[in-house]
A and B are shown apart, each in its own frame.
Chain A
């Protein structure tokens, strides 16, 4: 009984986290802010849902759920860091930064936003690799 209530609370809070995260993905103005919403809130939300399913019991293989949570928490952060680095280096626009770009001399950055086959390429787009 108590276990069922705890499981239902975990499931509902996980779904609420996922809803907020997807709202952020749809509404925020910038790749990096969208990633901030998707990775952290989305990872926590789905981990909570899987944990709720494990707490509820009645599922044959609980080890798979534990493995899913551990792998998700480990890999989502690494993958989003790689993706953010690649997006910065390919020149994705930054919004809401008013004191300059703190990574300006650290990573080399391509000139404009990455176009997808429309319009001319940005002038002098970075040094050749």
Chain B
């Protein structure tokens, strides 16, 4: 019976996720507008939730799933607040 080592799979996928992290960070640093940076923040949230879930699988500690839940909630509130401010901005602040 061959066993599939899911912890090793999760560790490998964590290493693979460094590439999306780098691409989102590139857009965050580069992106010409405010909205581009918040789109990059959305992308970073998706990457970070996946990283937290994979870490939970790799280490066997379920508390890392709570980290992902917290990041999702904070991202929602911050994006809503930022969208309100950007919509209210007329000309120069």
Contact = CB atoms under 8 A, between A and B. Distances in A.
Interface of A: 1, 4-5, 7-8, 11-12, 14-15, 18-19, 21-23, 25-26, 31, 34-35, 38-39, 42-43, 45-46, 49-50, 52-53, 56, 58-61, 64-65, 67-68, 71-72, 75-76, 78-80, 82-83, 85-87, 89-90, 92, 110, 113-114, 116, 121-122, 125-129
Interface of B: 1, 3-4, 6, 9-10, 13, 16-17, 19-21, 23-24, 26-27, 32-36, 38-40, 42-43, 45-47, 49-50, 53-54, 56-57, 60-62, 65-66, 68-69, 72-73, 75-76, 79-80, 82-84, 86-92
Contacts of B57: 11, 53, 56, 58-59
Nearest to B57: A53
Contacts of A22: 19-21, 23-24, 43, 47
